[in-house]
Structure formats: structure tokens, C-alpha cells
Amino acid sequence: MLLFNWQTAWASVLAMAVQLFVLVWYLGAVRRLAAGARRWSPLKVVPFVVGILVVAYAVEGGIAYYQRSNFTAHVVQLLLLVDVAPPLLAIGTPLRLALQSPGRANAFLVKLVRSRRARAADHPIVVFVAAMGTMYAYFLTPLYALSERHPLFLAYVHLQFLVVGCLLWWTIVGRDATPRAAGFGARFVLVFVSVPFDALLGLLVANVTKPLYPVANTLADTQAGGEVLWGLAEVFIVAALALLFVEWAREEERKAVRADRQLDAALAVARGAPAPVQRSGNGTGA
């Protein structure tokens, strides 16, 4: 049931159409780059495709079958949307792909990303408040019960969690052409500050004395969902730290290579020899 029972409600069908559109756009842009003798790394394509598949499973897959009857399954579903799919999509760097691939849709996307509103929304403080505010508001107010009663609002919840997850993880991953590139210090702080807030939310839900929506959930199910929310969120935080350390090490290595080249050039000039020629990149996607 969890794997093969795909949903066919109108909201699921609409979401699947959007996901297919995004996937076709991304693969089409990669193909256009290849036609122009520019290579887009498979290490970007594969995570992006997997990220789309994760979104599809969370919204239309078997786990969505239980979203209104099992609180724990619903928590896992939302964590897939906020903490699993977004980092995979961010690694795929679709904004950078749009910058390098011709087309009206890509030009519009680039213009949108460079707007003042996009730059304001991409500020680390705004990103943190949006992500934590969404999760706390949903689980600790009547919004969860409202989503259980109204499928349209539940569809909006899926979108909201995915959007704030993308804002958060695009900032943490830091590979794409975002409106405001955060430094490693800000990105580490963003992850570390998220730890106590994620833990507190999970503990608050795990220690409730009555179900958040008694019509559909038991107390044991609600408390188990809180434990999953706390445990899995911390796992994703550790994964984010590991990713940041890898990115930081790669950046330091690139800086060391540039410094060595500049030193070699300076020594060559001092000795009166021609400066070594630095070969440009082979045109691969950044």
C-alpha cells in the first residue's frame, strides 16, 4: 500500500502534471546545452530527478493514502517535502541551468530570481523564520485539524512545506544562482540554530496529552509522530552539516589552487620569464 497505491484525486493529478512539466523543462534545458556542446553534469541531473520523484511520492504516492488517517505517516510525508526533496533539487542547480540555457521561460525565471522580492525572501533570517514558523504554526495550532477536514487546504500545506523547504535548503546547499548568496558562516549558523527549534517542536508534539485531531488520530499515533518529527529532523540536520563541511572543504581547495597559480605567475614575472598560461574551463556547467 505504501509503495503502489498512487492517488488519483484532482489535487494529486494537478500536482503530478506540474511535476512532469518541471522535469521535462529541466531535461530539455540539459539537452539544449548538450546540443550547444556544453555538458551538464549527471551529478546534478540525477539528484534533481530523484528530488522530483520524492515530491511525487510524498504528494501522490502510497504514503499520501494515509495522510488523513495516520498522523505519523503525515509527519513523514511533510518531512519528505521539507527536508528530503529540496536538498536534492538544490543540488541540481536549476536556476544556474536556466541562466545557461536559452529560452523565454528561462529568461522569465532569471528575471524573477533577480527581483527585489526574491532577494528579500532569500535572506537567511527570512528563510529561518518562514521554515520554523510554518512547522510550528501547522502542528501547534488548529491548522492541522483544518487540513484534515479540507482537502484543498491540505494541498496548499503540501505546497507551503515544499516552498519553505526549498528556500531553506537552497540557502544551505549554496550551489545555485540564488538572489543572495550566503557565506559559509551564515549557512552553518542557520543549521545550528535550527537544531533546538526542530527538537523542541518534536518534543512538544510527542508530549501532548490528547490527539491533535481526535476524529482521525489516536494519542499514541500523535505522540509517535512527534518522536518521528524530532528524530528524523535531527538526522537531516546532521546530513546538512556533513554537506556543508564537504562544500567548505571543496571551496578551500579551490582557493588554494587559485593562490598557487597566482604565486606561480608572480614568481615567473619576478624571474623575467613569461607567466604560465591558465587554461580556461572546458565549458562544462558550473
Asked if residue 29 is part of any domain, the answer here is yes
Name which residue leads in pLDDT, 205 or 238.
Answer: 205
pLDDT of residue 119: 78
The whole-number average pLDDT for the span 130-145 is: 94
Instruction: Residue 35: count other Cβ atoms within 10 Å of its Cβ.
Output: 8
Question: Is residue 16 assigned to a domain?
Answer: yes
Q: Is the pLDDT of residue 275 over 60?
A: no
Could you tell me the pLDDT band of residue 19, with boundaries at 50, 70 and 90? Answer: very high
Q: Which of 92-106, 163-177, 238-252 is least confident?
A: 92-106
* Least confident piece of the model among 107-121, 124-138, 189-203, 218-232: 107-121
Please give the single-letter amino acid code of residue 84: V
What size, in residues, is the chain? Answer: 286
Is 180's pLDDT higher than 80? no
Q: What's the confidence (pLDDT) of residue 283?
A: 46
Q: What is the pLDDT of residue 204?
A: 94
Predicted confidence (pLDDT) per residue in 42-86, tens digit:
999 999 999 999 999 999 988 888 888 899 999 999 999 999 999
Q: Is residue 1 part of a domain?
A: no
* Contacts of 95 by beta carbon, 8 Å cutoff, 6+ apart: 109, 110, 113, 176, 177, 178
Q: CA torsion angle for 186, 121, 90, 241 (degrees, to 10)? A: 20
Asked if 285 contacts 99 with a C-beta cutoff of 8 angstroms, the reply is no
Q: What is the pLDDT of residues 100-134, one digit of tens each?
A: 876 666 677 777 777 778 878 888 899 999 999 99
Secondary structure string (H, E, C) spanning the chain: CCCCCCCCCHHHHHHHHHHHHHHHHHHHHHHHHHHCCCCCCHHHHHHHHHHHHHHHHHHHCHHHHCCCCCHHHHHHHHHHHHHHHHHHHHHCCHHHHHHHCCCHHHHHHHHHHCCHHHHHHCCHHHHHHHHHHHHHHHHHCCHHHHHHHCHHHHHHHHHHHHHHHHHHHHHHHCCCCCCCCCCHHHHHHHHHHHHHHHHHHHHHHHCCCCCCCCCCCCHHHHHHHHHHHHHHHHHHHHHHHHHHHHHHHHHHHHHHHHHHHHHHHHHHHHCCCCCCCCCCCCCCCC
User: What does the pLDDT read at residue 191?
Assistant: 87
Q: Indicate the number of domains in the chain.
A: 1
pLDDT of residue 34: 83
Q: What percent of the chain has pLDDT over 90?
A: 42
Return d(Cα 285, Cα 30) in angstroms, integer: 10
**Which of 196, 71, 73 is CA-nearest to residue 139?**
71
Q: What does the pLDDT average to over 150-168?
A: 93
Query: Mean pLDDT over residues 142-154, rounded?
Result: 92
The pLDDT assigned to 1 comes to: 56
pTM for the full model?
0.83
Q: Which three cell numbers stand for residue 62?
A: 502510497
Q: Is 277 part of a structural domain of the chain?
A: no
Q: Per the domain annotation, does 284 fall within a domain?
A: no
Residue 275 lies in a domain: no
Range of the domain at 60: 10-270
How far, in Å, CA of 145 to CA of 260, rounded? 60
User: Exposed, middle or buried, 189 (CB in 10 Å: 0-12/13-18/19+)?
Assistant: middle
Task: With respect to residue 280, please indicate whether it lies within any of the assigned structural domains.
Answer: no
For residue 270, pLDDT over 80 is answered with no
Can you tell me the distance from the alpha carbon of 144 to that of 153, in angstroms, rounded to the nearest whole number? 10
Residue 251, pLDDT > 50, answer yes
- Nine-digit cell string for 132: 520554523
The overall average pLDDT reported for the chain is 85
Cβ-contact 157, 138 below 8 angstroms: yes
